[in-house]
Amino acid sequence: MKRCSIFEFAPLKSITLEIIMETSDQKFARLMVDYSAQVKPGDRVAIVSSTAVIPFIRELYRVVLKRGAYPHVLLDLPEQESILLANASEEQLGFVPLFHKMAFEEFDVLLKVRAETNTRAMTNVDPQRLKQRFGAISKLIAAQFRRGATGELRWMSTIYPTPAYAMEAEMGFEEFKDFFFGACHADDATADPVAHWQKIKQDQQAYIDRLQGHDQVRLRGPNVDLHLSIKDRLFQNACGQVNLPDGEVFTGPVEDSVNGWVRFTFPAASGGLLVEGIELHFKDGKVVQASASKNQEHLMEMLDFDAGARYVGEFAIGTNYQIDRFTYNILLDEKIGGSFHLALGRGYPETGNHNESGIHWDLICDLRDDSEILVDDELVYKNGKFVS
C-alpha cells in the first residue's frame, strides 16, 4: 500500500510551526503520528499504553486530534498483567479484552506504547498460566500481523522511557531517556526526525538490494554456523514505520530450510523471565536440540508452545549503530548494529513466510567479532557491517 507523505494530508504551515522549539516528547509524538502511522483525517486511532506515562499520551492524543483523526485511548494500570495472572480464573485468563479486540480488528491505526514500571513483575508466575494468557493475547497479535500485511491497519509499536527500563539497561533515568530518544533520532541533535528516517530507509534499501532475489544464506562465526534459504522471499525495510527505535532489514526464511546451530549471545526475555545462554540446533527448519544456561525449563515451554514454535518466522540483521549496548529491552536490542536475530514462531506474511504460531520470540546473536554472512557464496557482511 502506498503511504503518502505527511505533507499530502497536513498543512505545511501548521507542521512547520509545530517543529519550532519542540520538546523530545513533541518530536517523538509527531514522528509516530506523521511518519510512522501517517495518520489521516477520519482515521480511527487506538492509543494503547499505560497510566504510568499519561503526560506523553496526552501529547500523542493532541497530535492525533490536530490531524483530524479520532483517537481512542486504552490505558492499562501499572503491573496490570501481573495482577491479572495472580488473581484471574482460567476463564478470565483466556478472555480477550473486548475494546482491544475491536481496536486490533477494526481500527485504521494502532499506536502501542509500552511503559513498564516493573520489568520483573511476572518472574515467578506459573508458566502454565502465562502460556494460557499468551494464547488469548496471541489472537490480537495475529490480527495485527494479518491486517498490517494487507495495509488495512497501520500500526506502530514502541516504548516510553521509565525508571524500570533504565534500571534494566544499567543507566540513570535521564541517561536512558537520552539514549532512547537518540536511538529514535527524536533528540535535540536531530533537526528533522522524518528526514533522518527517510535517509535511513534509502541506505537500508541498498542492503536489501544485496540480499533479495538470492537463495542460500550462510552465517559463520564463533557463535553460529547456520544455513537458510531466502528464495522468493521479500525483505522488509524497517525504518521507523512500525517500530521506534528502528533499524533492521528482515525477511521470513523458507520454513523448512534452516539447518545448523546458533548460540545466542544475549539473554532473551519472555513473560518477565530472562532465558540466558540459549543454543539451538536446527534440522530442516525445526529446532531439534535446545539448551540454556538459565531458565531452560521456560525455553522448552516456549518451544513446545504449539506446532509452529520450533520453526523460524523471521531472519533479521540489526543496523542501528546508536544502539551499541544490550539494554534488556527487545525493542532496542534486536536493532543493535552488528547483530542478527531469529524469531521463533509466527512469521510476517508480507515477507512470504506463513509459519503460524502463538509466539513470535526474538533471539539475538552478536556478529561483530570474526563473523560473516555469505549469500549464494558471496561475502556481503563481515564483523558487524555490510561490505562494499
- Residue 53: CATH number of its domain: 3.40.1830.10
Q: Is residue 15 part of a domain?
A: yes
pTM of the model: 0.86
Whether the predicted pLDDT of 62 surpasses 50: yes
Range 343-367 average pLDDT? 95
Q: Is residue 178 part of a domain?
A: yes
Q: Of 153, 184, 215, which one is at a domain's C-terminal end?
A: 184
The number of folded domains in the chain is 2
Look up the domain containing 298 and give its range. Answer: 193-386
Q: pLDDT confidence of 15, banded at 50, 70, 90? A: very low
Q: Are residues 39 and 88 in the same domain?
A: yes
Q: Is residue 1 part of a domain?
A: no
Q: Of 184, 208, 238, which one is at a domain's C-terminal end?
A: 184
Question: Between 127 and 253, whose confidence is greater?
Answer: 253
Q: Are residues 162 and 26 in the same domain?
A: yes
How much is the pLDDT for 20? Answer: 52
Q: Is residue 168 part of a domain?
A: yes
Q: Are residues 148 and 289 in the same domain?
A: no
Q: Are residues 158 and 33 in the same domain?
A: yes
Whether the predicted pLDDT of 18 surpasses 80: no
Q: Of 151, 184, 217, which one is at a domain's C-terminal end?
A: 184
Q: pLDDT confidence of 2, banded at 50, 70, 90? A: very low
Q: Is residue 267 part of a domain?
A: yes
- Select from 260, 290, 263, 287 the least CA-distant residue to 277: 263
Looking at the chain, the whole-number percentage of residues with pLDDT higher than 70 is 94
